[in-house]
Structure 1
């Protein structure tokens, strides 16, 4: 990955964007694609939709989507001493929160804080292994009372973990919010790759959706608005190549072994075959994961929009999902971009996606 693309990924994942508060990340996405897209708009939900116009009359409409919202928190109450109580936005593991540094994103700017925790010396032995419910945890921003704190924060302000993107060994990187701003990164890169072609046979829509973590909301409204023939969701997927993961239940999925192509009732079989064939012929490493039910991604709502959409799901393997230390491979990102761009260029007609 070149420096330009790495810096874009870093800016995107570090922009605060808990569900319902995605505008900072969406501004980064818009800037990245505004000189690439033929059309660029934001809908009433906050989804950002970039279009590359296809050639000919009534070309195949293809939509690629990643969601830009991340898990986080929201200010619920400020007590007399200036301590801040909060609630989770999305699926946050209460085990992870105590002792973390956080940032509160208020109208007057960002406020640094930390989630307080009683020292282990003061915790009764019988209570040391219990999980403190999030509603009982609190944030300390250093204020002496409620009035001081309310000068800086308000009920409803969004909160994120105070960590960003860092390089590890080999091509591994770690950050909060790869789920799923990494998918938005892929969407932007595929737009860039397709733009380099003089003519595009399909009408292509690259979409950064919102509020996936709280119910696939932006995915549902954006796919209805775009009305594609083919839709592919780009998501993180559970890597299983670290200790204590049951591969018999979750599959054998490895960081660095390529994008993961989903297969199952949520997935159009002809589109699955096209993705696999493209990977093989382009010599792109890939993995396959079976989804016997709904996938829990924007692919769910894509498939069921209007009269139905030929839907695919491509995951990038991710360790430690929904933690402040998510980990992935930059090479997997690059191969995902290659796979999707090459697959779109092979698409021709609506009929080829009707199951036979």
Structure 2
């Protein structure tokens, strides 16, 4: 990955974007799109849409959701401890002992999330799986009044953000899901050359709570072809059953999905783009609607020729999501070449 795009990727990873509170990251997206897109718009839902060659009759939409899972302040007790509900799908075990940030109106407030220490748990408590309601945020406030002067009900909360490079071109960060997919659709727009189709790269909102931004932005764009770009579960680590989840390895390229959610002609063209340009890729099967934006795209308006391209990700929805920078880079190139191969009269009817 080139240094300038990598630095932008890091900025995205360092910027909070829990569902419903995506404006800070969307501001970055607009900044990035302005010099590379013919037009940049933000719809009423908050989706940011960059377009190239928008007058072309065949419309191609790339969707990468910008939101991350998070929490929402729901109560501040008399001692100044803060309770929160989740935004999106959390495993509460992943939250215990984490450093967190409350994104208050006057700036970020560092916090830790904790439970009763193991030394003080009784036998029954030790056998019980922790629930979110049993965890609290500690900002170091001396009482409720001090906490309420800093934090309001409804303030968003995230894990402490940050990017860390690892060996063999890997990196970890709490919000690889879906900063990777977001970066890919933006970078694909930048890398795309001569186009015979209209290309829309969309930073969609609120995927983690029901694919909501993809639904609304697709309604506005009305694409003929749409590809959702997200993360998928890497299976090259312990405890994952490859017989059910397939062979998905970090560093071996983006994943192209096949299955009923995916238009076969879109899949074939993605594979052709990868093979003709010597871009590594992996195939994976999905026998049901995807749990990402490609699901919403397929069902938009009168139906869209949908595809799904995914970035292998270890430890999804945790503080230590791990991805390959090479996979992310190759995914952006794949989507740029795919867009260039679409003809103005391309027929994607199966």
Bin of the TM-score, shorter chain as denominator length? over 0.9
Q: Give the whole-Å Cα distance in 1 for the aligned partners of 2:125 and 2:219.
A: 50
| Deviation of 1:351 (Å) | 4.4
Which residue number in structure 2 is paired with residue 313 of structure 1? 308
List structure 1 runs of 4+ shifted beyond 3 angstroms. none
Please say if 1:62 is aligned against 2:60: yes
Of 187, 190, 202 in structure 1, the residue corresponding to residue 188 of structure 2 is 190
| Deviation of 1:311 (Å) | 0.6
Which residue number in structure 1 is paired with residue 81 of structure 2? 83
Aligned partners of 1:61 and 1:203 also within 8 Å: yes
Which residue number in structure 1 is paired with residue 128 of structure 2? 130
Q: Which runs of 5+ in 2 are unaligned?
A: none
| Deviation of 1:128 (Å) | 2.2
Give per-residue Cα distances to partners, 1:135-164, cap 9 Å, x unaligned: 121111011111100010000000000131
TM-score after normalising by structure 2: 0.98
Of 208, 211, 219 in structure 2, the residue corresponding to residue 216 of structure 1 is 211
Q: Which runs of 5+ in 1 are unaligned?
A: none
Please say if 1:252 is aligned against 2:250: no
| Deviation of 1:174 (Å) | 0.1
Q: Give the whole-Å Cα distance in 1 for the aligned partners of 2:30 and 2:126.
A: 47
Aligned partners of 2:56 and 2:196 also within 8 Å: no
Aligned partners of 2:60 and 2:199 also within 8 Å: yes
Which residue number in structure 1 is paired with residue 229 of structure 2? 234
| Deviation of 1:13 (Å) | 1.3
Give per-residue Cα distances to partners, 1:306-347, cap 9 Å, x unaligned: 111111100010000000100000010111111111111000
Please say if 1:20 is aligned against 2:14: no
Which residue number in structure 1 is paired with residue 33 of structure 2? 33
Q: Give the whole-Å Cα distance in 1 for the aligned partners of 2:345 and 2:101.
A: 47
| Deviation of 1:58 (Å) | 4.3
Which residue number in structure 1 is paired with residue 53 of structure 2? 53
Q: Give the whole-Å Cα distance in 1 for the aligned partners of 2:252 and 2:330.
A: 10
| Deviation of 1:14 (Å) | 1.4
Which residue number in structure 2 is paired with residue 322 of structure 1? 317
Give per-residue Cα distances to partners, 1:180-213, cap 9 Å, x unaligned: 111110111111112xx3x421111010000000
TM-score after normalising by structure 1: 0.96
Q: SS of 2:115's equivalent? A: coil
Which residue number in structure 1 is paired with residue 162 of structure 2? 164
| Deviation of 1:350 (Å) | 4.8
Aligned partners of 2:195 and 2:339 also within 8 Å: no
Of 112, 115, 118 in structure 2, the residue corresponding to residue 114 of structure 1 is 112
